[in-house]
Structure 1
Amino acid sequence: MQLGFLPRIVILIGLFGASLGGLYLLAQVLPPLSLPKSIDDVKVDAAILQEFATATYEGWIRTFWVFSVVYMWKQCFGIPGSAFLNILAGALYGPWFGTVLTSLLTTLGSVLAYFMSFFLMEPILNRYASSRLDQMRLQDQDESEEGTSLFMQLLLIRLFPLTPYWFINLASPLVGVPVVPFMTSMFLGCMPYNYICAQAGAILSEIHEMRDIYQQPWILFQVVLVLVLSGAAVIVSKRTKKKQVERDQRKSRKSEEEAVDDESTQHLLRSTFEIMERHQSQQAVDEERQRENIAMSSLDSQHASSHYGNKHDSAIVDMSNYRY
């Protein structure tokens, strides 16, 4: 039985409320905190969590699990503020582990949003965002015709997010994006941004506002380097895909030409065999006629000889009659 529009809304609201209540209960295992909304909030939370996590091994485990669940929840429901959590991850776990962790959590949260949209949100998005969905379908079709693979299309969208992540997560299952390229492109595409934020977390004491992140020379250099490498990878992929398409087209044309040649050869052979068969049939008819002519000639010769013999006998009889 298919759910109607209103029951889907009720289920979504119920999921959000239940998950929010679960987060509140889970957060009770940590010291009092608040979701960071500014750099100052990140600094306060980082100081509290660093002291709690380094005190005992159990404290580190609790901090890790609560941070992971909160991050995936925000990503699943498209709650703003992931940048502050990325910075917090860099402050707690360092830039490298923080980047890998936040990229993995971003991917898992996006997959949860993907399946939530797949099972519940199709009628809702078709009603309120049908034009955006059609635009994504046309964009994917145009990129495919230009020779760009689906994975590279998704990776490009993640690296240069002109469309919000939350809408891409919800729209992808409805425009036919398989879950595997969706996951891999999400994991790789969000890494540069997460790394920049995690780097900022490692130097949190020097950061006072979000714009200060991009005023750090080393971070700015890495941003430019990532953008250049990403653009080069996209260009190389498009050219490689285009060459592959051209090779496939040439092979297809060659196969068609060979098929036409084979068909022409077979037609020529069939025509030759038919001519040979007609020639053999005509030759057999001619031989049969020749045998019949020979047989008729033999009969005529025998008939003539018999007639001549009868005349000779008659002449002998006449001469004998004359003699007497």
Structure 2
Amino acid sequence: MAKGSAKFALSWWEIAGGLGVAASFALGLLSVYFSMPPTDYSFLKIPRTIEELQILRVHLESYSSDYTMQVLVGYCTVYIFMQTFMIPGTIFMSLLAGALFGVFGGVALVVFAATAGASSCFFLSKLIGRPLASSLWPDKLSYFQAQVSKRKEKLLNYMLFLRVTPTLPNTFINVASPIVDVPYHIFLLATLIGLIPAAYVTVRAGIALGDLRSVGDLYDFQSIATLFLIGIVTVTPTLLKKKNQSEECEVNSKLKAI
């Protein structure tokens, strides 16, 4: 029992920091809520099913035209909050962006909110994430640490590959990156660029929200294969460099032998 407790040992400053972040988001959500016009907001909740999302879309369509700024701020605040505290369901928020704002507006909104949320989770994990990651994903964390250490020179390519493909969950990447010493500028750039393909697939599906029956309809074999193809392209420069270095070492060895 003592060993398990030690894994989650946090200082009072770390606990206060985490609670402070949560309180800031709560204050932001309340501010958005009270800025909306008086009406029945019983429909406002984080959707967990396609049916709940369709109901939310119907109610928000009128607000998105009359109160665009409040809807945008509220959307971003909820999305970033969910990403920061690893709350499942951001895929429904991405679908909602497509239904409300179209492909280009939806992709821009999702990429911005997802990048901001991932960054927020990155810094929160830097503060208090090590005990959580070590307890939840010990083997995965060790694997990630080893892969990052081997790819220091081309770390951006590797992080892009992880973001584009479903090799590792995005939640894990957000939490584990500061723990395994991924520099924030690489994390930020890989997130900003790497989330675009998946965001496009999801947002585009949100436009035809009425035709969806489940989240499983989003990622068919073709979509997943396309994401992996894009991911392979991102790591190709690293593979080519390793091949060239290997060939160069082999040539040098032969020259020395002569």
TM surpasses 0.5: yes
Tell me, in whole angstroms, the C-alpha distance in 2 between the residues paired with 1:123 and 1:40.
Answer: 37
Tell me, in whole angstroms, the C-alpha distance in 2 between the residues paired with 1:76 and 1:83.
Answer: 15
Question: Are residues 237 and 207 of structure 1, via their aligned partners in 2, closer, same or farther at CA, if it must alter by over 3 Å?
Answer: same
1:96 — aligned with what?
104
Tell me whether 17-26 or 194-203 shows the greater mean CA deviation: 17-26
Give deviations 1:251-304, integer Å, cap 9, x for gaps: 9x69xx8xxxxxxxxxxxxxxxxxxxxxxxxxxxxxxxxxxxxxxxxxxxxxxx
1:228 — aligned with what?
229
2:85 counterpart of 1:84: no
Tell me, in whole angstroms, the C-alpha distance in 1 between the residues paired with 2:19 and 2:196.
Answer: 31
1:304 — aligned with what?
none
Counterpart residue identity of residue 229, structure 2 = V
2:149 — aligned with what?
141
Give deviations 1:146-177, integer Å, cap 9, x for gaps: xx821121122222334322221121112110
Question: Are residues 197 and 128 of structure 1, via their aligned partners in 2, closer, same or farther at CA, if it must alter by over 3 Å?
Answer: closer
CA contact (8 A) 1:159 1:189 kept: yes
Answer with 1 or 2: which has the greater Rg.
1
Tell me, in whole angstroms, the C-alpha distance in 2 between the residues paired with 1:51 and 1:138.
Answer: 50
1:240 — aligned with what?
240
Greater helix content: 1
Q: How do residues 1-324 of structure 1 correspond to structure 2 at under 5 angstroms?
A: 5-7=10-12, 8-30=14-36, 32=41, 33-54=44-65, 56=66, 59-123=67-131, 125-126=133-134, 130-143=138-151, 149-214=154-219, 221-234=222-235, 236-243=236-243, 245-246=245-246
Query: Equivalent pairs: percent with the same residue?
Result: 24
Give deviations 1:81-118, integer Å, cap 9, x for gaps: 01100000000111222112211211111111111122
Counterpart residue identity of residue 217, structure 2 = D
CA contact (8 A) 1:196 1:223 kept: no
Tell me, in whole angstroms, the C-alpha distance in 2 between the residues paired with 1:9 and 1:91.
Answer: 38
Tell me whether 27-36 or 183-192 shows the greater mean CA deviation: 27-36
TM-score (norm 1): 0.65
Deviation at 1:191, TM superposition (A): 1.8
Counterpart residue identity of residue 84, structure 1 = F
Tell me whether 25-34 or 59-68 shows the greater mean CA deviation: 25-34
CA contact (8 A) 1:158 1:165 kept: yes
Deviation at 1:135, TM superposition (A): 2.4
Give deviations 1:170-199, integer Å, cap 9, x for gaps: 211121100111111112222222111111
Tell me, in whole angstroms, the C-alpha distance in 1 between the residues paired with 2:218 and 2:239.
Answer: 35
Q: What is the count of residue pairs matched by the alignment?
A: 241
Tell me, in whole angstroms, the C-alpha distance in 2 between the residues paired with 1:160 and 1:76.
Answer: 21
Deviation at 1:14, TM superposition (A): 4.7
